[in-house]
Amino acid sequence: MWLIVGSDTSTIKQTTTFAKWLLDIGEGKLCGSNDDEAIIDIPNDLLINDHCDPIGSLIEFVYPSILEDSKIPEYFQEKAILAPKNEVVGKINDLLLSLFLGYEVGYLSSDKL
């Protein structure tokens, strides 16, 4: 509920509605009884409708104008893409990195003193 602090009325209503929807899913109120499987209707505003490039569509939704705003630290602090598997995270990261000019640099780390 910390998301609604300092928000306007319409944002508070949207956030509250989304939070209730998530809680209803978690409590099993949306699909009735099931045997570890259920069909849940997802609101249209949460769906990715671009079947050709769903990850690109997701990146554009979460990070609009990423190339122009990438130098502003707050731009990334207020946004995140969550993914269920590391494979999906890798695809998202690869696509995001391909948007930026320059060379990729890998740094090694050590877990010893």
Other C-beta atoms within 10 Å of 80: how many?
8
Position 90 scores a pLDDT of 93
pLDDT, one tens digit per residue, over 97-107 is 888 888 878 88
Domain ranges of the chain: 1-42, 48-101
Distance CA 14, CA 31 (A): 22
Reading the block at residue 57, the tokens are: 């569509």
Compute the residue count for the chain.
113
- Per run of 10 residues, the mean pLDDT along the chain (length 113 residues) is 65 83 82 72 83 90 88 84 91 90 85 81
Inter-CA distances, 35 with 32, 84, 96, 105, Å: 10, 21, 38, 47
pTM for this entry: 0.61
Inter-CA distances, 61 with 34, 40, 54, Å: 33, 23, 10
Other C-beta atoms within 10 Å of 4: how many?
15
Distant-in-sequence contacts of 46-55, Cβ < 8 A, 24+ apart: 55/88, 55/91, 55/92, 55/95
